[in-house]
Amino acid sequence: MSLDDFGTGYSSLVHLRRLPVSELKIDRSFVARLAVDHEDAEIVRCTIDLAHSLGLVVVAEGVEDDTTWERLRDLRCDAVQGWLVAAAMPPQETTAWLRARGEHGWRRPAELKAQAAAAAGSATASASGSMNGAVNGAVNSAVNGAVNSAAETDTP
């Protein structure tokens, strides 16, 4: 089970104790200002450390630029979600999208975009329109195990 929008609204520390949570998703309102706001950066760092100490996988929501991606990598965030990675897509497309990418880990998004563009050029005939230009980066391999359950319970 994933605890979404952690740090805002009804998502609180008490849920970490009461619910069978295996994944914590840090709300985009903290992630978006990570590179420019020291307090948000500290909140994100402490949240990642807390989640890891509880054995949880951490996903950062709202990742839209390379700088934020790299800061999250340095903070040992397990996975990211946002426009830098890809646009929202239906579950059946998500599974195929992940399998097509393999396990990229935390390589730079610009490098992955170039690799994806090169691969798309050689596979255009067989993949005609199946990804619709949605390749905007990569997903950490930690997402592979959680994608099916997250896609069923999480809405964009």
Residue 16 makes CB contacts below 8 A (sequence gap 6+) with: 3, 24, 54, 56
Beta-bridge partners for 26: 6, 60
What is the tally of structural domains in the chain? 1
Tokens standing for residue 148 = 């099916």
H helix or E strand, kind and range, residue 110? helix 109-122
Q: Which domain holds residue 38?
A: 2-153
Return the closest-CA partner of residue 60 out of 69, 52, 126: 69
pLDDT (tens place) for every residue of the chain, 156 residues total: 777 777 776 667 777 878 888 899 999 989 999 989 999 999 999 999 999 999 999 999 999 999 999 999 999 999 998 888 888 889 888 888 777 776 654 455 555 556 656 666 654 433 322 222 222 223 333 333 333 333 334 444
HSE, side-chain direction, 13 A CA sphere, residue 123 = 13
Report if pTM > 0.85.
no
Contact 112, 86 (CB under 8 A): no
